[in-house]
A = this chain, B = another copy of it.
Amino acid sequence: MKGNVIVGQSGGPTAVINSSLAGVIKASWKAGIRRIYGMHYGIEGLLNEDIVDIEDYVTSSQDLSLLKRTPSAFLGTCRYKLPPVEGNEALYEKIFDILDKKNIEYFLYNGGNDSMDTIKMLSDYALHHNKKQRFMGIPKTIDNDLPMTDHCPGYGSAAKYIATSMKEIIRDNESYGVSKPTICIVEIMGRHAGWLTASAALSKDIDCNGPDMIYLPEVPFDIDKFVDKIIDLAENQKKKSIVVAVSEGLRLEDGRFVCELGTVNDHIDAFGHKQLAGTAAYLANVVTQRTGLKSRYIEFSSLQRCAAHLSSRADSDEAYNVGYLAAKAAFEGNTGKMITIQVQSREPYVESYSMFDIHEVANIERKVPESWIIKDGTYVSDEYLNYARPFIIGRVPPYSAGGLPVHLTMKKKRK
């Protein structure tokens, strides 16, 4: 008879992270697993022996459907990187003791780069110390920066949120037309990789001009050139509405983050507090002060990773599938691997699933290819659009009550 399952969620939440959890639960039911445990707040919770019985909350396919529509880590998440084994043997032994105590044989962890490092460390340790446990990674990150997989679950829904909101923002910004141009700078997540910022380009269609410029963190940012381009759009091209998408991670040629520039003088306000400004807020101020033009900024902030009301069906289904397949692979004896998505055909879109050795995945960041960044670093190419368009297709309409989406909560069902 098989041992039990434990599943954890780690790193920044996504709109579809719980679809992967639903996939793990369904595969475990199918395999006749006796108990499905959840780490309450990821590996950090496990270390505190904060472990929940998932069937206290999820017992039916209706629960699974609602779970898929619930944003943000249902089990809670953490940002915790395991230390090297050497010198921390006690910590590793503690983890395995906790697993043994609950007869846990299958360990599934859903996350991005750091989380795959957790799978690597634990699966290596298990192999070297003859532990019975199997460890499988389930990819998840809105940043889309995991290697070996064509793309990451969570990215498609974030891209759909960004592209939908961009269409609406561009409309809003275009509605003032008689007076001077209005510049709107939109800040998008992604400290090192520009995948999320690139998705702003998906808004361009027959009914929307799309953003005027898109700046990814892969390309060093030049403030003077940026201001020159704004002036060109306003004065030479007579544009009344200018909308620019910028990554929060833009850096100057010398390596400094743009978002840090606003605070170099350690400005202290009337109450003795230091002020910080984001990348878009900083650039909007720069534009107004250098050109006299009206500017404003919008930060999508965590909305882009938690807006389950705008989840993509394609993304939610793939998130479910990688969760299901990771559990299935563990039950079949695999360990130290991450499930990946391959795309057989982009049009019509046909995906398939595989798995890769976790050593080829952990701690590697995949960036937007240089050749996809065009127009002197101010836009993305059709290759990007062809790559990303299938990820935002379809909706997962929320269950509603009183005009608002309903979410599954950790209120116990049985006792």
Interface set of A (CB-CB < 8 Å, partner B)? 9, 13, 40-41, 44-45, 48, 50, 70-73, 76-79, 160, 163-165, 167-169, 171-179, 184, 202-203, 205-208, 223, 261-265, 267-277, 281-282, 285-286, 289-290, 296-299, 301-303, 305-310, 312, 314, 389, 392-395, 397, 400-409
Contact = CB atoms under 8 A, between A and B. Distances in A.
**What is the total number of copies of this protein in its complex?**
2
B168 A308 contact: yes
26 contacts: A45-B178, A72-B168, A76-B174, A79-B176, A160-B404, A164-B404, A168-B306, A169-B302, A172-B302, A172-B305, A202-B404, A203-B404, A207-B409, A261-B269, A262-B269, A262-B273, A267-B269, A267-B275, A273-B290, A276-B285, A281-B281, A299-B301, A312-B403, A392-B404, A393-B403, A395-B400
- Please indicate which of the listed interface residues A40, A274, A275 has the most CB atoms of chain B within 10 Å of its own CB: A275
Contacts of A173: 302
A392 B402 contact: yes
Nearest to A300: B303
B76 A176 contact: yes
A178 B302 contact: no
Given A405-B164, A407-B167, A289 B265 contact: no
Contacts of A310: 309
3 closest residue pairs by CB, A with B: A267-B267, A392-B403, A72-B171
A406 B306 contact: no
Given A172-B305, A402-B392, A407-B207, A282 B275 contact: yes
Residue with the highest number of chain B CB atoms closer than 10 Å, among A48, A393, A403 = A403
Given A76-B176, A167-B404, A404-B160, A265 B268 contact: yes
Contacts of A289: 272-274
Contacts of A303: 165, 168-169, 298, 303
A185 to B, nearest CB: 11
A174 B171 CA distance: 33
A273 B285 contact: yes
Contact of A164 (B13, B264, B309): B309
Contacts of A285: 273-276
A149 to B, nearest CB: 20
B265 A265 contact: no
B306 A171 contact: yes
A355 to B, nearest CB: 27
Nearest to A397: B397
A163 B404 contact: yes
Nearest to A403: B392
B178 A48 contact: yes
A299 B299 contact: yes
